[in-house]
Amino acid sequence: MQNLALIAPLIILFPSVGAFINFVWGPKLNERASAIIGSVAAGATFFIALGMFSYLTGNNFQPAIIDPPLLDGWLRIPSANLEIPWQQRIDTLSVTMLLFVTFVGTLIHIYAAGYMHGDKRFSRFFAYLNMFLAFMLILVTGNNFLMMFVGWEGVGVCSYLLIGFWWDKPKGEGIKNANAARKAFIANRVGDFGVLMALFLTFWTFGSLDFFKPTEIANPAHYEHLVHEDDSHAGEEDSHSGEEGDDHGGEGEGESTTAQTVALSTDTTVAQEGEEDDHGGEAAADDHGGEESHSDPFGFYVNNDHLTYNQLGVFGQAEKLLKLGEGETLDRGDGTQVGRTVVIGSWTTDIDTVVSLIALFMLLGAAGKSAQIPLFVWLPDAMAGPTPVSALIHAATMVTAGVYMMVRSNTFFYYADEVSLIVTIIGGVTALAAGFMALGQWDIKRVLAYSTVSQLGFMVAAVGIGAYAAAIFHMMTHAFFKALLFLGSGSVIHGMEHGHHHLHDHGHGAGGHGHDDKAHAAAHDSHGHDSHGHDSHGHDEKHDDHAHDDHFDPQDMRTMGGLSRRMPITYITYVIGAAALAGIWPLSGFWSKDEILADAWRAAIFDGKLSGYIALGLLLAAAFMTAFYMTRQVWLVFHGEGRHDAVKHVPESVWQMTVPLIILGVFSVFIGFVNLPSDPGVSSLGLEAVFGLHALTDWLEYSVLHAHVGAFEWLIALVATGVGLAAIFLGIRIYGGANPLNEKNEDPLYVNRGFRPLFVFSNARMYWDEAYDRLFIRPFQAIARLLARVDWDFWHDYVHDSVITKGFNGVAKILSQPVDNGLIDGTVRGVGRLVKGISGVLRQAQTGYVRVYAVALLVGVVAVVVLMLLPVLQG
Amino acid sequence: MEMTGLSLLTVVLFLPMVGLTILMFMNEEKQRNAIRWTTFGFSIATFLLSLLLWALHDPANPGLQFVQRNDWLPTFGVSYYVGIDGLGLILVLLTTFIMPLAILFSFTSHIFEERGREKLYYIFMLLLEWAMIGVFVAQDLVIFYIFWEVTLVPMYFLVGIWGGDQRVYAAVKFFLYTMAGSILMLLAVLYVGGQAGTFAVPEIVAGVQAGTLVFPFDGLFSTQSFLFLGFLIAFAIKVPIFPFHSWLPDAHVQAPTAGSVILAGVLLKMGTYGIIRFCLPMFPEASVAWAPVVGVLGVIGIIYGAWVSYAQQDIKKLVAYSSVSHMGFVVIGIFALNAQGMQGAVLQMVNHGISTGGLFLLVGMLYERRHTKDINAYGGIWKALPFFGALSLIITLSSMGLPGLNGFVGEFTILLGTLGSDVLGITFALFATLGVILAAIYMLYMFQKVFLGELDKPENQHLHPMTWPEVTVLVVVVVMVFWIGVQPAIWFEMMDSSTNAIVDSVAQFTPQLTAMLR
Amino acid sequence: MVPTEAYVILSMVLFAMGTLGVLLRRNAIIVFMSVELMLNASNLALVAFSRQWQGVDGQLFTFFVMTVAAAEVAVGLALIVAIFRTKQSINIDELHLMEG
């Protein structure tokens, strides 16, 4: 089935075409057609992703590298050995990303068809969503850093366009949306700066930007069992090699072969069977043997012995260089040697420094994309976009790109210990700080936004402690339950708008409120920069008046309460999502979070790593925050009594919205089982029989060299669960009443004097935005204005007018008066005067008397004669 | 001296002059449309012929092709000597590509309603095209100098007659600043010609490479360095490299739209082209020695231009300063003195010509409708002109260097080259890459101010829809933006061998020089 | 035969007398006559040398001088008459228009 991989370019083509159609003909299409085109394009990518999955399982997880047809290479400078192709990589890591990105993406497309109903740029919205999907898939499937960067920036642009989707809303709301979009893009650009620097260093160190070359194996050790199979079944292999690509034949042999695998533990085998399930481990049977003479680019190599150093990709080279001892060298394959010394232009250093630098720059990039300290500030503001966007881009997919990049580059991080420590600290602190900021928010989406930042912190911290598979695992589960939560919140917001609209129609005659729902939603979709003041601290009487008036905010949790009775489906799915996020056993969040914590525990205890202790401490605290703020949110939104009349008129959402919620809810429950830790005991409910143990990790290990299998730690699992339950218990105690807020709509934590400063600090989002405003934005603008003034007033005007022009005029004056008139004319005139003076003296001799002249003549004659005669006289 | 027959290149060069001659015999009042179409026709014909040049050009050959050489002033060693290699070709193509766009855009421009003299305008356009092509094909220093100076004349009048309110000030400033630099170049040209006995650049370069022609060099201030600086300052003013940029905002702001497009699209490139063609191969040691200094100016230009750009309230000025920033990239790319940097720089010249030319077209179209360049007068334009807004976004993103669009390819290769350069290195790359962040800041600021937000100003609500020349021009620009962004390999191939020859001619002096200077 | 020296000495004396006359006298007529005396002194010397060398050059030259002298007299006297008419005097000290 190797040809199956050749359809990989379609995964980008479909959404591109969908986007193109909606762009060009969108205004002429009706909503239904736009939505169908967009959703079908997205759905098609999911089926192609499934195809890629079956390709991998059917081909022994051999990565495929696909050059898209019709396109020539991309960047190619022959004389500089620069060759960067458009090339897709289908391997287990990219397919993992593909699967959940396309799946969640498709659901969100369907959801958006309901949510965006009535928007005047409906088709444009679907065009953007499709475009986003195309770029996200480029990001994920690119086989080199630069292609990844194309997707990276492309999703950034889509994010920019979608955050600012309602840029034309009245009363300054539109500009606020545009500001949020711009903030997101610029924060991301700061990160991109890091990525670019990392790419430059990578290129000069390894002479390439390709992750892996065709036929290169990312993790040879993980393929070892296939070699052993190969030895024992050499005959069988030959007989089956011809059938490859035809069908799934030979499953029987496949299973028996797999069962005889000797290199890896039995756990692995089970895992494979579980993972492959209906493909039944045809893996081993379908493939060719060992390193034996396959020039076919899809051929089957189990290690990289057939490749010289120069033929390896970036990570392969890095792996070899980093393992070299001091002074050792390695043959490049062209007769020259390469050692630990790296020469980049005029700069000479060693490989460790370079790799650390690359990792550090990548961390900056990841901090931008995956919203980590210090660049996370854009993500909460990005909630200005429509809710499906928040769910898709700013929770499930795009923001995970930073983590994806770090996992993809796990070789760099694995060897860069100090940088990994920094990564851990950044991730852990972000997780904790964002969790803290989440618990003081009033905006339903903003809570989720901080929660996303916090969960991304978990993933980054996981990368820091070397738990790469756990990071991807958490990314995957998070994509499901966070998308679920966002869509749920969208459903709530939608409902609140309807309720409020209804209220106005009946309660207030609605004369002046003829605007449609969407306009209203947009008007309040973002708090922009001023939400500090807007959300205030709940003790502002005036604010409450507004809440019942024109300034009704459908996202403000203070206006909600008791919605569980009005929207049961939303409620149930939301609670599932919240519980998964809080890490309640046995939902998906429990497994992924527990794996990170367990890995941190083992890094701390067994390896004695500082990063392990840091991660464990910070993340446990963050887990407590998570459970607490989710409890607060669920109770504020769904329980108690409605705090606004609008609640009474809230309807359940339409099927386009609830069906995706239900599907995501189901996945949020079960998706955690794809990576059960080894030895889970009773905790797995015996489901390892279905899913296998650490199936995802095994699967990822084919692409992620330093991934390792997570074990179950009862202690950590119990502590984490205990922490979560404690937080939930505490949350219910505080927010569990009929109306947890007091008569001024103040938070119980605010009412309690002891917690008031903390709540204020959290509500003000730790003053990050204000600090950045003072530290960076205002100085930047001030310097810009200063420079512009210096440039214009000084360099342009003053230098031109005063120095050059006046100088020119001045010199001209000097030249004309003193120089020309004085010196040059003076000289001429002086000569005249001199002649006159001399002649005045000489004229005295001219008496006019002929006699005198005659005497002179005589004297002259005599003198001449004497002179003539002198020689004669002297003899 | 070899004499050659008529070359296709000469035909390309003089075709605009033929058109110009025909224009002279036309009647402005009675044949207004014929004048427009004749001009456009000749610019298109020139473009098509230059495409033929491309088709016939052999990219594997680094030397000059389509050479034509005839004696002119044999006593002084001056000859009519034209020819192009890949580098010249790419810039000739840029010129002949930009000109029809600028001319087509002028069709619906309102400038003639105020200022009239439409025939003269098109005559100057063709004269300018002739001179610009001449600059890129001349292989004789004297001929080059003549073409170089001739470009000033039509531009001077384009700005001075059809420009904005301060057009005369701007035109004179533009003329004088460029002229001031040219004088230094003239001195250097005469000295070089005197020493070499010929003004033919390939022969001079060959002499320098072979060691038979020596311009003494022993440090930053020696004969060769002064010659290098003589050329460099002339080119630096044109580019403009950082401290010499103060004429640019005036010229850009005051020039008519087509003038700005040509100025940004082609004229600025003459400076960087000159550096590559003359400074580097003729004065290799001085180039290496001065590279860090020029590199610092380039980096300052990148950051400074971007930063100043952000504070502008006049859209055209904003774009003008962004040019300073973008051309800073080109400068450091050149002085990275390696293949990546150099080729990135050449491609970035093309990219900047297309993107910034496109931005000036956008501003021009807005100006045609609103007669103001104040950024605060706009807002929400995307709603009024949806298609225009979408195209603007693409051009803006291209100027910001979004991967997949043209700007990125150039910037990336330049920065890559800078980091790996023997003479510049990681510090330069670090600061230059900051320009990528800054570009997003000022470009998005502009885009937001003009296109986003509520369409609340009444005079913005009923804008004239786009005319067909405007649509055509912008669509062509956008197509190029995508094409170069996705398939830049074609362009790299075109110039690979030529630029590499230039890089090699300098690189052979690099090791001992860097050793000496450190 | 009278030696040439004698002629020469006479010629010198005559010349000296003429010179002194030109330099010292104020009457234009007298000055004029002194000039004639100097010319004739030279004529004498020419003739004397002509005889000594048995050549006719000197005598020939004398004729020239005599011719010139005649012309000079004609012009000179006319001038003097003209001067006298304007100045009512022939005192050459009054003729100093060439004074610087």
Burial B475-487 (b: 16+ CB within 10 A, else e): ebbbebbeebbbb
Asked if the Cβ–Cβ distance from A854 to C93 is below 8 Å, we say no
**B328 token code pair:** 């800073």
- Say whether pLDDT at A39 is over 50: yes
Work out the minimum CA distance from A827 to partner chain C, whole angstroms: 26
The confidence score (pLDDT) of residue C56 equals 87
CATH code (residue C56): 1.10.287.3510
Residues in chain A closer than 8 A to C95 (CB atoms): 848, 850
**Among A766, A772, A779, which residue's Cα sits nearest to residue A532?**
A766
Q: Provide the mean pLDDT of chain B.
A: 90
Asked if the Cβ–Cβ distance from B422 to A172 is below 8 Å, we say no
For residues A157-168, give the mean pLDDT: 92
* CA-to-CA dists, residue A162 to A43, A128, A176, A408, B452, angstroms: 20, 7, 13, 27, 13
Q: Could you read off the pLDDT of A47-70 as tens digits, one per residue? A: 999 999 998 888 888 888 888 887
Asked if the Cβ–Cβ distance from C23 to A845 is below 8 Å, we say no
Select from A178, A185, A344 the Cβ nearest to the Cβ of B452: A178
**A751 token code pair:** 């009412």
For residues A500-523, give the mean pLDDT: 52
List Cβ neighbours of A476 (8 Å cut-off, separation of 6 or more).
A96, A100, A592, A671, A674, A696
Residues in chain A closer than 8 A to C96 (CB atoms): 847-849
ipTM of this predicted structure: 0.93
The confidence score (pLDDT) of residue A228 equals 60
For residues A37-42, give the mean pLDDT: 94
A852/C20: higher pLDDT: C20
A338/B346: higher pLDDT: B346
For residues A261-280, give the mean pLDDT: 36
Percent of residues, chain A, with pLDDT higher than 90: 41
- Say whether pLDDT at A283 is over 60: no
| C85 at A interface, C-beta within 8 A | no
- Say whether pLDDT at A746 is over 80: yes
Report residue C100's pLDDT band, with 50, 70 and 90 as the boundaries: low
- Say whether pLDDT at B220 is over 90: no
For residues B88-95, give the mean pLDDT: 94
Mutate: best of A20, A23, A79, partner B, most B CBs <10 A: A79
In a domain, B378, yes or no: yes
Question: Given its phi and psi angles, is residue B132 left (phi above 0), alpha (psi -120 to 50 degrees) or beta?
Answer: alpha
The confidence score (pLDDT) of residue A554 equals 84
The confidence score (pLDDT) of residue A152 equals 93
The confidence score (pLDDT) of residue B3 equals 59
**A662 token code pair:** 């239900």
Residues in chain B closer than 8 A to A800 (CB atoms): 173, 246
In a domain, A121, yes or no: yes
Nearest residue of chain B to residue A76 (CA atoms): B489
A865 and A815 inside one domain: no
In a domain, B1, yes or no: no
In a domain, C41, yes or no: yes
- Say whether pLDDT at A785 is over 80: yes
Contact B141, B81 (CB under 8 A): no
**A293 token code pair:** 């003479």
For residues B108-134, give the mean pLDDT: 88
Contact A772, A377 (CB under 8 A): yes
Burial of residue A682 (number of CB atoms within 10 Å: 0-12, 13-18, 19+): exposed
The confidence score (pLDDT) of residue A421 equals 93
For residues A339-362, give the mean pLDDT: 89
Task: For residue A651, give the DSSP letter.
Answer: P
Contact A8, A66 (CB under 8 A): yes
Asked if the Cβ–Cβ distance from B339 to A799 is below 8 Å, we say no
Q: How far apart are CA B337 and CA B252, in angstroms?
A: 30
Residues in chain B closer than 8 A to A75 (CB atoms): 409, 412-413, 488-489, 492
**B110 token code pair:** 């309102």
In a domain, B59, yes or no: yes
Residue A829: CB atoms within 10 Å: 10
Q: Which amino acid is at A150?
A: V
C-alpha A573, offset from chain centre: 28
* CA-to-CA dists, residue B474 to B96, B470, B479, B480, angstroms: 16, 6, 9, 10
Chain A, residues 450-469, CB within 8 A of chain C, namely none
Mutate: best of A200, A349, A808, partner B, most B CBs <10 A: A200
Q: Could you read off the pLDDT of A611-642 as tens digits, one per residue? A: 899 999 999 999 999 999 999 999 999 988 88
The confidence score (pLDDT) of residue B30 equals 83
In a domain, A117, yes or no: yes
- Say whether pLDDT at A298 is over 50: no
| C96 at A interface, C-beta within 8 A | yes
In a domain, B3, yes or no: no
- Say whether pLDDT at A111 is over 50: yes
Asked if the Cβ–Cβ distance from A203 to B416 is below 8 Å, we say yes
B96/A875: higher pLDDT: B96
In a domain, B2, yes or no: no
Q: How many domains does chain B have?
A: 1
Work out the minimum CA distance from A862 to partner chain C, whole angstroms: 12
pTM of the model: 0.83
Report residue A499's pLDDT band, with 50, 70 and 90 as the boundaries: confident
The confidence score (pLDDT) of residue B516 equals 59
- Say whether pLDDT at A41 is over 90: yes
Q: Which domain holds residue B156?
A: 8-517
| C82 at A interface, C-beta within 8 A | no
Select from A843, A848, A858 the Cβ nearest to the Cβ of C97: A848
For residues A408-413, give the mean pLDDT: 92
For residues A583-591, give the mean pLDDT: 88
**B324 token code pair:** 């300073």
Nearest residue of chain B to residue A788 (CA atoms): B308
Q: Could you read off the pLDDT of B265-310 as tens digits, one per residue? A: 999 999 999 999 999 999 988 898 899 999 999 999 999 999 999 9
Q: Could you read off the pLDDT of B355-400 as tens digits, one per residue? A: 999 999 999 999 988 888 899 999 889 988 989 999 999 999 999 9
**Among B309, B328, B292, B473, which residue's Cα sits nearest to residue B395?**
B473
The confidence score (pLDDT) of residue B164 equals 83
The confidence score (pLDDT) of residue A36 equals 92
SS3 A443: strand
The confidence score (pLDDT) of residue A624 equals 93
| C92 at A interface, C-beta within 8 A | yes
Contact B285, B217 (CB under 8 A): yes
State the helix-helix crossing angle for B8-24 and B118-137, rounded to 10 degrees. Answer: 170
Q: How far apart are CA C16 and CA A238, in angstroms?
A: 150
C-alpha A648, offset from chain centre: 41
Q: Which domain holds residue A810?
A: 769-844
In a domain, C87, yes or no: yes
Could you say which of A127, A143, A159 is where a domain stops?
Answer: A143
- Say whether pLDDT at B465 is over 90: no
Give DSSP secondary structure letters for A747-792: -HHHHSTTTHHHHHHHHTGGGHHHHHIIIIIHHHHHHHHHHHHIII
Q: Could you read off the pLDDT of B472-483 as tens digits, one per residue? A: 999 999 999 999
A288/B72: higher pLDDT: B72
* CA-to-CA dists, residue B373 to A548, A583, B460, angstroms: 43, 56, 13
The confidence score (pLDDT) of residue A247 equals 39
Q: Which of A78-87, A114-123, A406-415 has the highest mean pLDDT?
A: A406-415
* CA-to-CA dists, residue A336 to A355, B338, B422, angstroms: 22, 22, 21
Select from B249, B426, B452 the Cβ nearest to the Cβ of A164: B452
Q: How far apart are CA B99 and CA B267, in angstroms?
A: 12
Select from C19, C24, C92 the Cβ nearest to the Cβ of A850: C92
| A836 at C interface, C-beta within 8 A | no
The confidence score (pLDDT) of residue A822 equals 83
Burial B184-216 (b: 16+ CB within 10 A, else e): bbbebbbebbeebebbbbbbbbebbbeeebebe
* CA-to-CA dists, residue B18 to B42, B46, B53, B153, angstroms: 8, 11, 19, 18
- Say whether pLDDT at A699 is over 80: yes
In a domain, A53, yes or no: yes
Contact A237, A202 (CB under 8 A): no
The confidence score (pLDDT) of residue B511 equals 65
Least confident of A96-110, A814-828, B46-60, B277-291: A814-828
The confidence score (pLDDT) of residue C2 equals 83
The confidence score (pLDDT) of residue A851 equals 77
Work out the minimum CA distance from A526 to partner chain B, whole angstroms: 14
A228/A809: higher pLDDT: A809
Q: Which chains touch B (3 or more CB pairs under 8 A)?
A: A
Q: Which residue has the tokens 């980091």?
A: B419
The confidence score (pLDDT) of residue A816 equals 85
Q: Which domain holds residue C13?
A: 4-92
Residue A609: CB atoms within 10 Å: 21
**Among A196, A109, A96, A112, which residue's Cα sits nearest to residue A152?**
A196
Q: Provide the mean pLDDT of chain A.
A: 82
A60 and A120 inside one domain: yes
Contact A676, A444 (CB under 8 A): no
In a domain, A812, yes or no: yes
Residues in chain C closer than 8 A to A848 (CB atoms): 95-100
Nearest residue of chain B to residue A792 (CA atoms): B246
Q: How far apart are CA A185 and CA A178, in angstroms?
A: 11
List Cβ neighbours of C42 (8 Å cut-off, separation of 6 or more).
C11, C15, C65
B72: part of which helix (H) or strand (E)?
Answer: strand B65-73
Chain C, residues 16-35, CB within 8 A of chain A, namely 19, 22-24, 31
Q: How many domains does chain A have?
A: 3
What residues are paired with A88 via a beta bridge? A66, A142
**Among B246, B301, B243, which residue's Cα sits nearest to residue B431?**
B301
C-alpha A139, offset from chain centre: 10
Q: How far apart are CA A515 and CA B249, in angstroms?
A: 45
Report residue A529's pLDDT band, with 50, 70 and 90 as the boundaries: very low
Q: How far apart are CA A625 and CA A41, in angstroms?
A: 39
For residues B253-274, give the mean pLDDT: 92
Contact A100, A396 (CB under 8 A): yes
Q: Which chains touch C (3 or more CB pairs under 8 A)?
A: A
The confidence score (pLDDT) of residue A512 equals 38
Least confident of A181-190, A332-341, A465-474, B34-43: A332-341
Report residue A155's pLDDT band, with 50, 70 and 90 as the boundaries: very high
Q: Which of A460-464, B2-6, B33-37, B164-168 has the highest mean pLDDT?
A: A460-464
**Among A188, A562, A580, which residue's Cα sits nearest to residue A393?**
A188
Asked if the Cβ–Cβ distance from A849 to C23 is below 8 Å, we say no
